[in-house]
Amino acid sequence: MCAGWMEEMQNDGLGGRDLPGPGLYLHFPWCVKKCPYCDFNSHPLAGSLDEEGYVRALIRDFQANAAGRSFATVFLGGGTPSLFSPAAIGKLLDAVRPQLEKGAEITLEANPGTLERGAFAGYRQAGVNRLSIGAQSFSNPMLARLGRIHSAAAVDSAVAEARAAGFDNINLDLMYALPEQSVEEALADLQRAIALQPEHLSWYQLTIEPKTEFARRPPPTPAEDLIISMEEEGRALLADAGFARYEVSAYARAGARCRHNLVYWTFGDYVGLGAGAAGKHTLAGPSSVLGPSGSVIRTGKPRQPRLYLQNPTRSASSSIASEELPGEFMMNALRLVGGLERASFTARTGLPWASVEATWAQTTELGLTEPERIAATDFGYRHLDRLLQFFL
């Protein structure tokens, strides 16, 4: 698995110091209603949406906190960005555009239940060149159980409309291990998604997140052995259909990996703007050698839309202690099926490889990691949580 991956990484320019990024994340914190499984910073929309006010705030935030930077990727995520009209998204992207690299990937998350006719053509015209459509399942009773505001047919028409609008880079979000789901049902969902021929599939195991409706009233989720069968058979189905798994939950056709998410998984820098958005940036030291500590900074914005709107340029920031950097780096990099070159560790953390060498040797000895490359073995990948414990 590694050789092919390395070749693709090199073709994609992801080897060593030539790592992707930086990215720009823009958060849209409202949804029509809150799904019972979701712990993202999303708030049910009460009353009408002041899209102009929010876009104005995002632009102020951008001007204050992203000045002088250029971006290789933009991700408009939520919440539900597709609640915003193409005109509002266009205005925002017009403000951002002067700071985008040529050929920047610009993704918008879309909920099939929010799309007005012609919306995709409008987003395309506004500059969006990648769509991430929240399908979740193709079973109408299951969609109802998940509190979704759309049917399976709405997902089909969203994809058809996106294609008609000229989108050639589409992701579908799908979940499995859903309440009382059988292996056959999970595979049928995947087959429906594959039949729509997206370039990318995010296939997430449903997790019961604290403080969600599902945590308060847990639904009966499938037994562990059924989940394992879903994963084994589902991955085979995806591979047969030409989707290569490149991260725990991400599958792509050749050349269609999500460049923005690769920024996170390679521990790259990104500016996060909008209510509750997180960011990360690295302070470069002399001759691009980073200082021993305090050189990687995390930023955060107020989660409540009301508070954010009161003062959109305010950001909290704190530095990651140097002893936490190896764990933070590995938590991301080891999610990548083929991992990264060793040089990436120093490029991203400023620490010498020697700082993790002994731990790495120990995990390699146990058969969890590759000797030469920052990558889990097949065995290590199946026990990723255990492997990460060594670095945390």
Ligand X SMILES: C[S@@+](CC[C@H](N)C(=O)[O-])C[C@H]1O[C@@H](n2cnc3c(N)ncnc32)[C@H](O)[C@@H]1O
Which residues of this chain interact with ligand SF4, rule CB under 6 A? 31, 34-35, 38, 40, 42, 78-80, 111, 134
Stretch that binds ligand X, among 1-9, 37-45, 266-274, 314-322 (CB under 6 A): 37-45
Residue 34 binding target from ligand X, ligand SF4, none, CB below 5 to 8 Å by type: ligand SF4
Options 35-43, 256-264, 270-278, 359-367: segment touching ligand X (CB under 6 A): 35-43
∠ CA 106-274-82 to the nearest 5 degrees? Answer: 50
Selection from ligand X, ligand SF4, none that 206 binds (CB < 5 to 8 A by kind) is ligand X
| Nearer to ligand X (CB atom), residue 213 or residue 370 | 213
Please check whether residue 206 is in contact with residue 178, taking contact to mean a CB–CB distance below 8 angstroms.
Answer: yes
Q: For residues 80 and 299, which CB has a smaller minimum distance to ligand SF4 in the complex?
A: 80
Q: Which residues neighbour 133 within 8 Å (Cβ) at sequence distance 6 or greater?
A: 110, 111, 112, 155, 158, 159, 162, 170, 171, 172, 173, 198
Locus of tokens 């920047």: 104
Q: Which residue's CB atom is positioned nearest to ligand X?
A: 134
Shortest distance in whole angstroms from residue 390 CB to ligand X: 26
Q: Is 40 in the site for ligand X (CB under 6 A)?
A: yes
- Quick one: what does residue 173 bind among ligand X, ligand SF4, none, with the CB cut-off 5 to 8 Å set by partner type? ligand X
If one asks whether residue 297 binds ligand X (CB under 6 A), the answer comes out as no
Site for ligand X in 191-220 (CB under 6 A): 204, 206-207, 209
Burial of 165 (0-12, 13-18, 19+ CB in 10 A): middle
Which residue, 134 or 272, is less far from ligand SF4 as judged by CB? 134
Taking CB under 6 A as the criterion, the residue among 20, 29, 78, 234 binding ligand X is 78
Cβ 358 to ligand X shortest distance, Å: 35
- By CB under 6 A, the count of residues binding ligand X is 16
Q: Does 362 participate in binding ligand X (rule CB under 6 A)?
A: no
Q: Is residue 136 involved in binding ligand X (CB under 6 A)?
A: yes
* Smallest distance from ligand X to CB 149, Å: 9
Is 177 within 8 Å of 227 (Cβ atoms)?
Answer: yes
C-beta of 45 vs 366, nearer to ligand SF4 = 45
The verdict on 111 binding ligand X (CB under 6 A) reads yes
Please state the closest distance from residue 80 (CB atom) to ligand SF4, in A: 5
d(CA 215, CA 213): 5
**Contact of residue 271 among ligand SF4, ligand X, none (CB under 5-8 Å per partner type):** none
Please say whether the beta carbons of 358 and 299 come within 8 A. Answer: no
Q: Which stretch binds ligand X (CB under 6 A): 36-44, 117-125, 153-161, 380-388?
A: 36-44
Using the rule CB under 6 A, is 45 a contact of ligand X? no
Contacts of 157 (CB under 8 A, 6+ apart): 112
Which residues make up the interface to ligand X (CB under 6 A)?
37-38, 40, 77-78, 80, 109, 111, 134, 136, 173, 175, 204, 206-207, 209
